[in-house]
């Protein structure tokens, strides 16, 4: 699956799409594929402060649990409630199944994230290990 | 794009084929094995409702042959092999002198002087060494035939109908835990055993381990099972299937630090037969009132998934035990676990908690197995 050019990516396999001062965050297709069938998404409540590089929740497949790391610092302004009942949507389309929306505290943090091309190269190296 | 296995890992004869059909591979006890193909849940459901095919060639096969083979088997395993008839198998375990597990095994009586012991993959070398060194004083030979066979497990309510297309052997004449030899996929003298590790009806067949034969049989089974929705199944589904059926996994529910009474496997322990390795220690444990901890089934009541290694807590939040295997159960659609807790707390309907990532999540002790297959009405 192609990685959208307009998204930025983390080495922990999250994506973020920024519109104005709000970032929408999800996990990548690579992440959903490694996890397998996703059965549970543990997301924070609206109003929670998240910090760049820190865990803000988790996503669980049948076989494993994986922390979610925030690509940016800020405040949660939205949570995708659909994932509470249909977490498998992430398997179907990881790049449109967002998990949280975050009001950014420091948009300059985005500069350190990976572009689609850089992320794809990074996953190729991970696979080759 | 097909990738090749890291060279340090061991491979079954079907390794290239697994990669060719896009299996996700993992390192399982030093083996490069498929964890899933189309998806764990779909594979799990195929076995519960139709049929699934597993490559279990990483399992080991030790043959004990000679006039002293029964005495040898009796000495190294806890079940009573003298009760086996030719063509019959049973679940058993090899124990250390302290009554803990070398491994759990299936013992097959091939003939009066010939036994086949099927062992786990991760313990193959250790097991063979253990058997060899402990049967020396008996008049028999121990041979490691592990690499001679590709072992395929065909499991599920449609397993018999699938396999029936590939053999003339009357499969209905093979009862659970019995086996026969017959021609399968044109291969004469193939061992067909009605055994498995899924809680379903099913068969395990042992075919020659060359790549061409292994791949041919694999493909013929998939073709035969097509009308029943057969899926190739990986270790992921194998694990959730055995967990729903509360079957033990080495280094989880059983290990060299866990004894037979703790693991709740004493129904396979025959202390009344002649002394065997581990029997004295187990008699002592029994005489002293049994084990201090016991394996129980847990159903997570609140939101959260118990995982291997998570702590079990009492109502006050004190750690009382540990989860040995935990997972969402795809067929039961519950979050289940096996765990060790103090014997006095190992009571059905008892309330405990599992510490899930720092938070206590309520769980209830339930009877095991969590899943029991429906009895055939026909």
pLDDT, one tens digit per residue, over A50-72 is: 999 999 999 999 999 999 999 99
Give the pLDDT confidence of B314-357 residue by residue, as tens digits. 989 999 999 999 999 999 999 999 999 999 999 999 999 999 98
| Helices (H), ranges, B21-63 | 40-49
Query: Looking at CA atoms only, how far is residue A23 from chain B in angstroms?
Result: 27
pLDDT digits (tens, 9 = 90+) for B219-237: 999 999 999 999 999 999 9
Q: pLDDT by residue (tens digit) across B154-184?
A: 999 999 999 999 999 999 999 999 999 999 9
Domain residues for A41?
13-124
pLDDT value of position A1: 67
- Can you tell me the ipTM of this complex? 0.88
Verify whether the Cβ–Cβ distance A37 to B41 is below 8 Å: yes
Count of domains forming chain B = 2
Q: Which pLDDT value is given to residue A126?
A: 80
Identify all chain A residues contacting B40, using CB atoms and an 8 Å cutoff.
36-37, 61-63
B354 part of contact set with chain A, CB < 8 Å: no
Claim to verify: residue B43 and residue B177 sit in the same structural domain = yes
Q: How many CB pairs under 8 A join A and B?
A: 36
- Domain with B222 in it: what CATH number? 3.30.1360.120
- Residue A6 inside a domain? The answer is no
Domain for residue B210, yes or no?
yes
What would the mean pLDDT of A106-127 be, rounded to a whole number? 94
* Percent residues over pLDDT 70 in chain A: 98
B19 shares its domain with B160? yes
pLDDT value at residue B144: 96
Confirm whether A118 is domain-assigned.
yes
Range of the domain at B338: 292-366
Q: Quick check: is A82 in a domain?
A: yes
Rounded to 5°, the CA angle B21-B22-B28 comes to 110
Does A4 fall in a domain? no
Q: Do B41 and A60 touch (CB under 8 A)?
A: no
Chain A residues touching B38 at Cβ < 8 A = none
B151-to-B191, B193, B204, B205 alpha-carbon distances in Å: 10, 11, 7, 6
User: Within this chain, do residues B154 and B32 fall inside the same structural domain, yes or no?
Assistant: yes
Contacts of B241 in chain A (CB under 8 A): none
Q: Do the chains contact at A63 and B357, CB–CB below 8 Å?
A: no
> Which of residues B244, B278, B312 is at a domain's end?
B244
Residues B52 and B163 in one domain: yes
Is the separation of the CB atoms in B325 and B337 below 8 Å?
A: yes
Tens digits of residue pLDDT in B26-49: 999 899 999 999 999 999 999 999
Percent of chain B with pLDDT over 90: 96
How far apart are the CA of A17 and the nearest CA of chain B, in angstroms? 29
Q: Of how many residues is chain A composed? A: 129
The verdict on A65 touching B (C-beta cutoff 8 Å) is yes
> Is B65 domain-assigned?
no
* Beta partners for residue A103, in sequence order: A22, A75
Q: Rounded mean pLDDT of A108-115?
A: 96
As a residue count, chain B comes to 378
* Interface contact A58-B357, CB threshold 8 A: yes
Identify the pLDDT of residue A128: 65
Place of tokens 């930025």: A8
User: Residue B129 falls within a domain, yes or no?
Assistant: no
Peptide bond into B369 cis (omega under 30): yes
Region B73-93 average pLDDT: 98
**Domain termination site, one of B244, B259, B280:** B244
* Interface check B182 vs A, CB under 8 A: no
Average pLDDT, chain A: 95
Question: If you average pLDDT over residues B64-89, what whole number do you get?
Answer: 98
CATH number at residue A106: 2.40.50.100
Residue B5 has pLDDT above 70, yes or no: no
pLDDT at B377 over 80: no
Clarify whether residues B159 and B43 are in a common domain. Answer: yes
Rounded-to-integer distance, Cα B20 and Cα A47, Å: 47
User: In sequence order, which residues have a C-beta less than 8 Å from that of residue B375 and are 6 or more positions away?
Assistant: none
**Cross-chain residue pair B240–A37, CB shorter than 8 Å:** no
Model confidence pLDDT, tens digit, residues B141-156: 999 999 999 999 999 9
- Asked if A65 lies within 8 A of B40 by C-beta distance, the reply is no
List of residues 6+ apart from A12 with CB closer than 8 A: A67, A69
pLDDT of residue B154: 98
Is A51 domain-assigned?
Answer: yes
Q: What is the DSSP string of B268-309?
A: G--TTSS--TTHHHHHHHHHTTS-SEEEEEEEE-SS----TT
* B104 occurs within a structural domain: no
Whether residue B50 is found in the same domain as residue B159: yes
In a domain? residue B124: no
CATH number at residue B324: 2.40.30.110
Dist CA B75 CA B229 (whole Å): 44
| Tally of domains in chain A | 1
Q: CA torsion sign, B119 to B120 to B121 to B123?
A: negative
- B281 neighbors B97 (Cβ within 8 angstroms): yes
d(CA B313, CA B299): 14
């Amino acid at each position: 699956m192609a990685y959208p050019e307009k998204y930025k990516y983390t080495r922990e396999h999250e994506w973020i799409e920024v519109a104005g001062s709000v970032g929408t965050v999800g996990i990548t297709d690579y992440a959903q594929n490694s996890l397998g069938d996703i059965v549970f998404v543990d997301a924070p409540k609206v109003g929670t402060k998240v910090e760049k590089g820190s865990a803000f929740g988790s996503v669980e497949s049948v076989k494993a649990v994986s922390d979610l790391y925030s690509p940016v610092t800020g405040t949660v302004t939205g949570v995708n409630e659909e994932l509470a009942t249909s977490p498998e949507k992430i398997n179907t389309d990881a790049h449109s199944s967002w998990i949280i929306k975050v009001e950014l505290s420091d948009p300059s943090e985005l500069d350190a994230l990976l572009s689609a091309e850089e992320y794809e190269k990074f996953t190729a190296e991970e696979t080759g290990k | 794009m097909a990738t090749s296995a890291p060279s340090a890992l061991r491979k079954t004869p079907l390794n290239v084929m697994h990669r060719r059909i896009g299996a996700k591979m993992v390192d399982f006890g030093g083996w490069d094995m498929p964890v899933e193909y189309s998806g764990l849940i779909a594979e799990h459901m195929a076995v519960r409702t139709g049929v699934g095919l597993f490559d279990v060639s990483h399992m080991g096969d030790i043959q004990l042959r000679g006039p002293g083979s029964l005495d040898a088997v009796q000495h190294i395993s806890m079940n009573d092999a003298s009760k086996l008839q030719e063509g019959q198998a049973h679940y058993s375990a090899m124990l250390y002198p302290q009554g803990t597990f070398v491994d759990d095994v299936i013992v097959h009586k091939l003939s009066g002087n010939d036994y086949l012991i099927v062992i786990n993959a991760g313990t193959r070398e250790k097991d063979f060494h253990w058997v060899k060194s402990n049967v020396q004083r008996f008049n028999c030979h121990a041979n490691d035939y592990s690499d001679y066979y590709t072992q395929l497990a065909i499991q599920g309510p449609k397993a018999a109908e699938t396999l029936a297309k590939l053999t003339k052997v009357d499969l209905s004449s093979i009862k659970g835990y019995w086996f026969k030899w017959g021609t399968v996929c044109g291969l004469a003298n193939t061992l067909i055993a009605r055994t498995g590790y899924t809680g379903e009806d099913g068969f395990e067949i042992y075919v020659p381990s060359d790549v061409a034969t292994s791949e041919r049989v694999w493909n013929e089974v998939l073709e035969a099972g097509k009308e029943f929705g057969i899926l190739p199944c990986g270790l992921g589904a194998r694990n959730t299937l055995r967990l729903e059926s509360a079957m033990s996994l080495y280094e989880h529910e059983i290990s060299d630090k866990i004894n037979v009474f703790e693991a709740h496997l004493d129904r396979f322990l025959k202390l009344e037969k002649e002394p065997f390795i581990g029997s004295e220690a187990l008699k002592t444990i029994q005489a002293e009132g049994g084990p201090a901890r016991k394996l129980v089934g847990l159903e997570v009541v609140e939101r959260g998934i118990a995982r291997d290694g998570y702590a079990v807590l009492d109502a006050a939040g004190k750690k009382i035990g540990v989860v040995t295997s935990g997972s969402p159960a795809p067929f039961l659609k519950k979050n289940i676990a096996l765990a060790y807790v103090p014997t006095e707390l190992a009571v059905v309907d008892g309330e405990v908690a599992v510490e899930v990532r720092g938070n206590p999540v309520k769980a209830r002790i339930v009877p095991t197995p969590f899943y029991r297959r429906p009895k055939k009405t026909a």
